[in-house]
A = this chain, B = another copy of it.
């Protein structure tokens, strides 16, 4: 089934395994094989890695943060330098968020009203204002292939406020759609509604009703339990159109990816693999390795014997531990390469399992293998 979801974007579902599916999401900068995991390049760089490293680990989609890039170096500068792809030397697909999440989490928010948000920069304390129209204008200057509607991500447990924020997010999504001028960018609306099943259902229906080429799910992975996250995904699933890619924002761990795909998610992003790497922690199937541990000093094995990444093909745990102890920045680079490759390789496996029809039956075993990498309670398929 191929769906022309907008003039320059197509989404073709190539295999299904109950709710899980593989697809090809065609964008102006190339095809994404879904489900896909996107490394995060907040400030126009995936921290400590070159675009060449990212190509080597078969990364296809990279995320940039609108809030950060607006503040520094400025979206107009990026536009004048040929757009974010040219600026950062990444010529495969890019996705930008709307800035909403960071305005509410990083900046000092000064005033939220129905028109927009006034906030204070976390960098220099200057005052700024984002509206739906402004977020789209910034994202059009940046020029990513996939862009997000401006949204408000509220405290997920306060039903009354969550409803207010959700309603505002819906009105903002309509304004974003109207403000958008470029047809080489796919705008996704964002479902909110916290962990309230009624609000999630209402938001899913509303966002699904908009004429957008994709659907994002926001406000999860912000402190709720895994049970709550999965319950919300289950509530939304039947309300989402089959023919549009679904993006679960800010998720996650290896288990989150498996659990998300099981619930019909196509796109993921998360800072976790690179953030953990800079804190010496590596994804392996037995659990996370803290490579600073003295027990690794003379360890002649790679981080993961089964991994095909440059780091695992070239260096021992003992060498990486030495780099960490000696405060050599290369440690962060090498572990980032491994951690990102681990998630991208997991997605490659998942795609092949969906293609051969074995994903659902393999999922419990996969979840068991990656147990120990969860930050919170694991919930199996």
Question: Which residues on A are within 8 Å of B, measured CB to CB?
Answer: 43-45, 47-52, 68, 72-73, 77, 80-82, 87-89, 297-298, 300, 310, 314-316, 318-319, 322-323, 325-326, 328-330, 332-334
Q: A72, B329: Cβ atoms under 8 Å?
A: no
Answer whether A326 and B43 are a contact pair too, CB < 8 Å, given A73-B297, A80-B298, A315-B89: yes
- Least Cβ distance of A291 to chain B in Å? 13
Interchain CB contact (< 8 A) of A48 among B297, B325, B333: B333
**Alpha-carbon gap, A332 to B333, bound state (A):** 12
Q: B81, A316: Cβ atoms under 8 Å?
A: yes
**Alpha-carbon gap, A185 to B325, bound state (A):** 29
In the assembly, how many copies of this chain are there?
Answer: 2
Answer whether A81 and B48 are a contact pair too, CB < 8 Å, given A326-B72, A328-B43: no
Answer whether A51 and B314 are a contact pair too, CB < 8 Å, given A45-B330, A297-B77: yes
**Alpha-carbon gap, A328 to B336, bound state (A):** 14
A80: B residues at CB distance < 8 A: 298
**Alpha-carbon gap, A348 to B196, bound state (A):** 67
Q: B330, A52: Cβ atoms under 8 Å?
A: no
- Least Cβ distance of A69 to chain B in Å? 9
A314: B residues at CB distance < 8 A: 50-51, 89
A44: B residues at CB distance < 8 A: 319, 322-323, 326
**Alpha-carbon gap, A322 to B71, bound state (A):** 11
A319: B residues at CB distance < 8 A: 44, 81, 87-89
**Alpha-carbon gap, A319 to B87, bound state (A):** 6
Could you show 9 A-B contacts with beta carbons less than 8 Å apart? Answer: A43-B326, A45-B323, A47-B328, A47-B330, A48-B329, A50-B314, A50-B330, A73-B318, A87-B316
Q: A52-B310, A73-B297 are in contact. List 8 more A-B contacts (CB 8 A).
A: A44-B322, A50-B314, A50-B330, A51-B314, A72-B322, A73-B325, A87-B316, A87-B319
**Alpha-carbon gap, A210 to B77, bound state (A):** 62
**Alpha-carbon gap, A332 to B328, bound state (A):** 12
Closest residue of B by beta carbon distance from A300: B81
Q: B48, A330: Cβ atoms under 8 Å?
A: yes
**Alpha-carbon gap, A45 to B81, bound state (A):** 34
- Least Cβ distance of A47 to chain B in Å? 7
- Least Cβ distance of A68 to chain B in Å? 8
- Least Cβ distance of A355 to chain B in Å? 32
Interchain CB contact (< 8 A) of A45 among B52, B88, B325, B328: B328
**Alpha-carbon gap, A89 to B310, bound state (A):** 11
A298: B residues at CB distance < 8 A: 77, 80-81
**Alpha-carbon gap, A14 to B332, bound state (A):** 43
Closest residue of B by beta carbon distance from A68: B326
Q: A332, B329: Cβ atoms under 8 Å?
A: yes
Q: A318, B81: Cβ atoms under 8 Å?
A: yes
